[in-house]
Amino acid sequence: MHGLKTLQEKVLSDVLKLKVMLKSIEQGIYETERRLSQNSVLIVLDDVDHIDHLKMLAGSKDWFGSGSRVIVTTRNQELLNAHNVTTRNAKLLDVKEAIELFSRHAFGQSKPVQGLEDVSLIMVSKLGGHPSALISLGSFLHGKDKGEWMKLLDRLICSPVDEILKRLETPDDGVARNIIPRFLTL
């Protein structure tokens, strides 16, 4: 739950443009509702997995002023149903968008470096346009030599897509981790 207090502080600090320090999650709920109810805000909550997390970060539409939007990304449809929100399915990236996203994280530029074009395309194709998987894989491979790329490519080729995506999912405890090493231990 420590991570939720930090997220509440970040949301409040970003919206209010001042440093906010909270003593507890409960204070975060109170301050969010009290201080943002008069503000029109745009808040993006990415990869939310628990209904409690959503309740503590964006409990109800009354917490925010008129015209506010809270965008939540999740793989948990039940979470959205329980919170009674309007849903939209996000489209996956096409190959061009996927290779650019992957390349930005793997190489720090919009295209693969010379010599890794084909390997990059195979990896991106295997991940099927899933942005979080592309970011995780690209970030993990950043700065690695071609030999390490080829070892990982062999593992990707030999694994079913569903298994790869499942291993690339973040754990549902809200704690950020480097998730690629779990994939390497298939």
The Cα–Cα gap between 62 and 26 comes to 17
- pLDDT tens sequence across 167-180: 665 443 333 344 44
* Cα 87 to Cα 73: distance, rounded to the nearest angstrom: 10
Three-class secondary structure of residue 171 per DSSP: coil
What confidence tens digit (pLDDT) does each residue in 105-156 have?
999 999 999 999 999 999 998 888 888 888 888 988 999 999 999 988 888 8
- Look-up: residue for tokens 């998730």? 179
Rounded to the nearest 10 degrees, how much is the dihedral formed by the CA atoms of 15, 49, 83, 30?
Answer: -40
- The pTM for the full model equals 0.54
| Amino acid code (one letter) for 82 | A
